[in-house]
Amino acid sequence: MVAALSSSRTGRGAIRFILACVLACAALAAGPGSAQEVPRSREQIALSFAPVVREAAPAVVNIYARKAPRRAAAPFLSDPFFRFFFEGFGNPLPRRAPENSLGSGVIVAADGLIVTNHHVIEDADEIMVVLSDRREFRAEVIGADHAADLALLDIEAENLPALPMGDSDRLEVGDLVLAIGNPFGIGQTVTSGIVSAVARSTPNGGSDLSFIQTDAAINPGNSGGALVDLNGDLIGINTAIFTRSGGSIGIGFAIPVNLVKALIRSVNGGGEGLQRPWLGARIQTVDAHLAQALGLERPQGVVINQIHPRGPAARAGLKRGDVIVAVNGREVSDGKALNFRLAIGEVGDTTELQVRRNGTTLDLELPLETPPYEPAPQVTRLEGRHALAGATVANLSPGLNRDLGLDLFESGVIVLKVDPATPAARLRLRRGDLIRNVADEPIEQVADLERIVRAHPLPWRLEVERDGKRLAVVIGG
């Protein structure tokens, strides 16, 4: 499946390069008065990343995603009279220009499996993959995860050059890396740098996971390209940059390849995206003040503030006030690092948590499970002669909450949709509203809401939670 990389020149070149760096650092450390050494052999003069690039570059592809042109919105055309009037003239509104996006991808299996960023192919009507030998293939999305910004593509091809996937957990700050991609559409480009940080959160906070930070130049068009080590192994998927100018300033971020492995494992098991195990607890990053209050020697890990009664944390024996400092021996610095550690685990297995409790260290086994849909969503369109008719509602649960991007502890009944020109629309209900109370009765499940709207005559007092605020209105009073 995955083409192995075997190049003795690659290994020798990497070793020589590292030795040269060590010698250079030693000379600098000796001070300005020390004698500098010139290269002693032709091999030292000819040190190059070329052997690594020669093996890795053919597995990096260009991706062109196209959105078909769409006409501008025309609400009046939904009216039958206007549709009849314009029928002989075609659609009178101009078509918008097609939207195209450019990115990179990495072949990770010789039979056509390619990984890229989700934002490269998002909402695309057509995806084309161009190989390094300039062959073109239409691609199909077979798995994606928006939150992790990963997508898996498949093309009908065989015997393709594929990059072996390394172990991103073995990376250390200072390791030499290469970034390969197609910046600005100018063609395949290779840049070099080091690992600047691991388990790093992006400055914009757009993801709930952690990343590899590198100073290898990454620019627009590099998205989805490869970050490789000096063995030629894929260790990350380039995904974002921090910039004030639009160009690279040496702060780039890559998705660790171990998360790519988790996505592939999930898709091979029949899923469409990452199966993310949940902790079942509300957590807070330990800062200096909190560390002092908890009696820790230094700020580390995350503290448990609340435990879901039906979650894995409760079954693992975690308690409020516990501090999770490591997962399977890997330190966690914040909530995103913890989420990453859980995300790369396999659902159905267990993982070991290192926990600080009252000055002692405990090892607890956490079952890896996805958040449950309990109670069942019971998606229902409310119908009948009442003020909430036309609203589609559902029961919240940890599983549905994650799908909707809500707090996993939230419960009750949520509005999923409001049909136009219905009583619910005239009441100005919105998608995302939480119905808390109707006719002075609390609403815990959809069945409660259906029973109350049918049984209680007006007037009602309706209480809704929106964006964390409680809104109340009397209907029919």
Instruction: For residue 252, count other CB atoms closer than 10 A to its CB.
Output: 28
CA 137 to chain centre: 26
Question: Could you identify the residue written with the tokens 């050059």?
Answer: 161
Compute CA distances 370 → 206, 270, 347, whole Å: 22, 15, 7
Please tell me what DSSP assigns to residue 64: E
- Name residues whose C-beta falls within 8 Å of residue 65's C-beta, 6 or more positions apart in sequence: 100, 101, 102, 103, 120, 121, 122, 124, 126, 127, 128
CA–CA separation, 130 and 167 (whole Å)? 27
Residues in the chain: 477
Out of 119, 196, 210, 433, pick the active-site residue.
119
CA 200 to chain centre: 14
Nearest to 390 by CA among 428, 443, 355, 350: 428
CA–CA separation, 273 and 163 (whole Å)? 22
- Name residues whose C-beta falls within 8 Å of residue 212's C-beta, 6 or more positions apart in sequence: 168, 171, 195, 197, 198, 200, 227, 235, 236, 253, 254, 255, 256
Angle, in degrees to the nearest 10, between helices 335-343 and 257-268: 40
Cis bond before residue 69 (omega within 30° of 0):
no
- Name residues whose C-beta falls within 8 Å of residue 396's C-beta, 6 or more positions apart in sequence: 406, 410, 411, 412, 413, 414, 434
Out of 104, 145, 149, 154, pick the active-site residue.
149
Active site annotation includes 119: yes
Out of 223, 248, 266, 397, pick the active-site residue.
223
CA–CA separation, 266 and 271 (whole Å)? 5
One-letter amino acid for residue 95 of the chain = R
CA–CA separation, 343 and 258 (whole Å)? 9
Active site annotation includes 334: no
Active site annotation includes 149: yes
What is the C-alpha end-to-end distance of the chain, expressed in Å?
69
Catalytic residue IDs: 119, 149, 223
